[in-house]
Amino acid sequence: MKTALITGGNSGIGKETAKALVARGWQVLIAARDAAKSRALVESVRTSHPGAQIDWLSVDLSDFSGIEAFAAEVSHRLPVIDALVLNAGLYTRRLTTNRTGIEMMFATTHLGHFLLTHHLLDKVRASSDGRIVVSSSVAHWMGGQMDLDTLRQPSGSQFLQLVPFQAYGRSKLANMLFVRELARRLQGTSIKVNGFHPGGIKSDFWRDTPGWVTASVDPFLVSEAVGAKTQIHLASHEGLTTTGEYWSGRKVRRGSAANRDPALARKLWRYSEEVFGITDYGRPVSASTPTQMKAG
């Protein structure tokens, strides 16, 4: 039986991916902040698929101090991870910071997943056909050249929501740069690492966006089931050989020039390792030794 961990797996395209993999006979573990929503989804799936192997765990990816313990519990439940689906993300109308003082969208969407993958990479290596699937967005075009200097002093400006949208774009560009560099580092292994744009989705994502934004994009939004198709394909399609690419509509796309910049990917990687004091990515020192985060 194949196995998957899906962050943000209790809503949106994460929920649809979880349901689809269960229907294909996979064992699925969903991870999200909202325990009540996760519990409800698991109960619903078990009702519609008696005997379904699906369960949930709570995690807050913006709280780096809890990720190692969470990863240890995942490792106990899933000694082999065939698909690590890094789907969780968020948009905030006002720029805030997490407990360590890093802008919240970047902390959750990129750094939390970076640290989680560090702790779970050996479980993906244990699969004969491991996949790491990262939910990015066409918004990565707004990420510029990956401004890392303002992560600890995010702007207070909310002018037409342009500043928060740019920060969101930065987090999604970070997703793709992570995909590119991780795939490069895993060359010669069986693991395929890919990122994708799901399309504009009719989901809870838009609850925090201004009304004018919601009204302007609504005619172009697609269902969560349609948006999940590329994610499901990258996680489960037999014979997938592509790695290190940006996908949309189940096809490889070029995306922005910045998302294809290897120097920028290496710059982000070095920054991310320095935040956590990681010296050998994917090989944690020990499960009992907390990751030491550096300030600055």
Residue type, 78: L
How many Å from the N-terminal Cα to the C-terminal Cα in the chain?
Answer: 44
d(CA 185, CA 180): 9
Which strand (E) or helix (H) includes residue 37?
Answer: helix 35-48
d(CA 198, CA 247): 8
User: Does residue 168 carry a catalytic annotation?
Assistant: yes
Catalytic residue among 91, 168, 271, 281: 168
Task: Tell how strand 192-197 and strand 54-58 pair up.
Answer: unpaired
- Walk across the sheet containing 245-248 and list its strands: 54-58, 27-32, 3-7, 83-86, 131-135, 192-197, 245-248, 251-253
Contact 31, 58 (CB under 8 A): yes
* Angle 205-140-181 from CA coordinates, rounded to 5°: 115
Q: Which two tokens stand for residue 222?
A: 């697609």
Ramachandran angles phi, psi of 69, nearest 5°: -65, -40
d(CA 164, CA 266): 25
DSSP string computed for 5-17: EEETTTSHHHHHH
Residues tagged active-site = 168
